[in-house]
Amino acid sequence: MTMKSWKLKEIVLMSLFGVVFGIIYLVFVHFGNLWAGVIGPLAYEWIFGIWFIVSILCMSIIRKPGAAFLPETLAAIIEVLLGNGAGPRLILSGMVQGLGAEAAFAVTGYKRFNLPVMMLAGAGSALFSFAYGYFVSGYAALDPKFVMIMLALRVMSGILIAGVGGKYLADGLLATGALRGYAISRAGKGEARA
């Protein structure tokens, strides 16, 4: 992945989304705490997809290797700088999540950006983050049935919130005309709406 092939406006857009979603991610930590008070320990799994969305949004728009990994990593850095209590470990978590989304696009050779691929990217982020969490957060000590429920909910959240949500957020921005000159606007209309 070389930044030489990136245009300045792509780097700026990716950075802007990284910062904005770093703030959103931190807000959702607090929302998750409230939600956990209502429904219990599985609360975060239902909304986990929100923490993957910037990778899918940026890749949908920019369509270059690194466009999923870099903004997810930047968002994690911003979240830590703004005071997330997880500290630097969260940056590694963001990197892992970004790699999960990036893997889905790499499998297609960075040539397909339709809804099924975006959903696959959301699932990829969920699976990579779950594997990381399994070893770092001690999921192995939990009841295996509970762990399977956690995994199923996280993957579903990744597919729906990050995959579907990221795709439709990108398409919504495209419809406003704000993304003229980016790869998403140069794609065929059929693909952009798929």
The CATH number of the domain holding residue 25 is 1.10.1760
What domain range is 162 assigned to?
A: 3-193
Say what the pTM is: 0.90
Predicted confidence (pLDDT) per residue in 125-152, tens digit: 999 999 999 989 888 888 999 999 999 9
pLDDT at 65 over 80: yes
Q: Is the pLDDT of residue 4 over 70?
A: no
3-state secondary structure the chain: CCHHHCCHHHHHHHHHHHHHHHHHHHHHHHHHHHHHHHHCCCHHHHHHHHHHHHHHHHHHHHCCCCCCHHHHHHHHHHHHHCCCCCCCHHHHHHHHHHHHHHHHHHHCCCCCCCHHHHHHHHHHHHHHHHHHHHHHCCHHHCCHHHHHHHHHHHHHHHHHHHHHHHHHHHHHHHHCCCCCCCHHHHCCHHHHHC
Arithmetic mean of pLDDT, 26-41? 87
Q: Is the pLDDT of residue 6 over 80?
A: yes
For residue 7, the model assigns a pLDDT of 94
Quote the number of domains for the chain.
1
